[in-house]
Every structure is written in C-alpha cells, then in structure tokens.
Amino acid sequence: MTMRFDRVSVTKGTREILSEITLSLNEHRVGVIGHNGSGKSTFLRLFNGLEKPSSGTVRFGETEDDLRHHVGFMFQNPDNQVVYPMVEEDLAFGLKSRKLPKAEVAARIERVLSELSLTHLKDRLTHQLSGGEKQMVALAGVLVTEPELICFDEPTTLLDLRNKMQFMSALSTLPQPAVVVSHDLDLLAGFDRILHIADGRIHADGKPEDVIPAYKALCEDLDEC
C-alpha cells in the first residue's frame, strides 16, 4: 500500500514546520534523517494522524481519515506508550476501541508475545520492566493492533547496545513496512530508501549509500549533527 503526501505543510503559530511536501512511499524500510528541529517527528506524526496537515493531504491507500487504524506508531520513550500496571492489560488496552471478542484479544496477545520471545513478561508489572523490556512491550502493543505500516520515532536512542541489537533484530523480521526516524545512521544503512529532511523540506531522497554519506559530509562542514 502506498503512503501519499500531496503538498503537505504544517504551520504552528506563524512558523512553518513542514513546507509543501509531496512524495509517495511504498518501500519496505524507509529511514528519515535530519538535524534536531528539522521537522522529522512532525513529518512522522502525519503518517498516523497524530499530526494533521495545515494544508495538503496525507493518504494511505484510499484512506485519508482514520489513519490510526492502519498505521502503528512507536514513540521514542516507551513510558509514553506503556501505561497500564500489567503487561497483559496494557496490550489489551490498544485493542479496546476495536471491540474484538475477548478470545481474539487473548490470542493476538499470546501470538505477538511469542513472536517477540516476550511470553515471560505477560504477567509482569510494567513499572518493574527494564527500559529495553519496556521498549519491546511497547512494540508488542503496536503489533497487536495488526497495523499495515509502522512508524518508529528514534526507537533505539534510550537503549543500551544489547537491547538495541535485540530491537534491531525484531525490526528486521517484521513483515510490515516501516518508517524509522533516527540519528543512528548504522540502523538505517541497510534500508531501502532514506529521506533527509532539512528546514521542513525533503533535502535529499534516495538510497542510503547516496544520502547518508552526503548527510555526513554536510554535518562535518557545518560541524553539527
């Protein structure tokens, strides 16, 4: 399914955060890079309707409204996502609005926990989980909704190396297409397409082997990133 942005701008007060973005995405793995404050998170939040365009349209397949039911979103900090006291009830919470039969909810939770090798966490208290465990539970919470596309906003920033590797391995096996905002250029190196956002515009769009070295060179010239 294709995600289409047609002349999308986002303005906050008098400031234009994103300017006239037009593109179509249907690759399996898309990375988004750019300096702090360039507009990456705002761009990503448009994918599932967390952010609305001030002008222009965002469409996923034929869907313009209700993107949330098709596109999953993982925040940088799992504390924003894992909110219920017990892991199992937290995972069930994401399905409440879908009015699924109880048995279907239980089956989805079992299946996703098993696929992510997290079954041992099912009856744990969420506030007792380590940061890495919580991040994986947040991922499970997204997967139980069976999204057709998943957006990740800086998913590895808070993880140590071991948890980052576990997360990267889980990401590499997900069947769904994913769009990942990250400053971790290693994570994005094997992706199908990279978008470099600068000052609210698509500054570069192409293969990682072209876009990432150019971005690094720009960072060295500017002495930032």
Ligand X SMILES: Nc1ncnc2c1ncn2[C@@H]1O[C@H](COP(=O)(O)OP(=O)(O)OP(=O)(O)O)[C@@H](O)[C@H]1O
**List of E strands, 55-109:** 55-60, 71-74
- The b/e string for 24-50 (b: 16+ C-beta within 10 A; e otherwise) is ebebebbbbbbbeebbbbbbbbbbbbb
Contacts with ligand X in 127-166 (CB under 6 A)? none
Question: How distant, in Å, are the alpha carbons of 46, 53, 146, 154, 224 from that of 149?
Answer: 13, 19, 9, 16, 32
Q: Which amino acid is at 118?
A: L
Give the shortest CB-15-to-ligand X separation in angstroms: 6
48 binds ligand X (CB under 6 A): no
- The footprint of ligand X on this chain (CB under 6 A) covers a number of residues equal to 11
| Binding region for ligand X (CB under 6 A) out of 38-46, 78-86, 99-107, 206-214 | 38-46
Closer CB to ligand X, 11 or 166, in the complex: 11
Beta bridge partners, 113, equal none
Give the shortest CB-54-to-ligand X separation in angstroms: 12
Give the shortest CB-23-to-ligand X separation in angstroms: 17
196 binds ligand X (CB under 6 A): no
Structure tokens at 214: 């150019």
Give the shortest CB-130-to-ligand X separation in angstroms: 24
14 binds ligand X (CB under 6 A): no
36 binds ligand X (CB under 6 A): yes
| Binding region for ligand X (CB under 6 A) out of 31-39, 98-106, 122-130, 139-147 | 31-39
39 binds ligand X (CB under 6 A): yes
Query: What residue has token string 């889980």?
Result: 170
Q: Which of 143, 124, 142 is nearest to 133 (CA)?
A: 124
Burial of 191 (0-12, 13-18, 19+ CB in 10 A): buried
12 binds ligand X (CB under 6 A): yes
37 binds ligand X (CB under 6 A): yes
Give the shortest CB-37-to-ligand X separation in angstroms: 4
61 binds ligand X (CB under 6 A): no
203 binds ligand X (CB under 6 A): no
40 binds ligand X (CB under 6 A): yes
Closer CB to ligand X, 40 or 164, in the complex: 40
Q: Which residues bind ligand X (CB under 6 A)?
A: 12, 15, 17, 34, 36-42
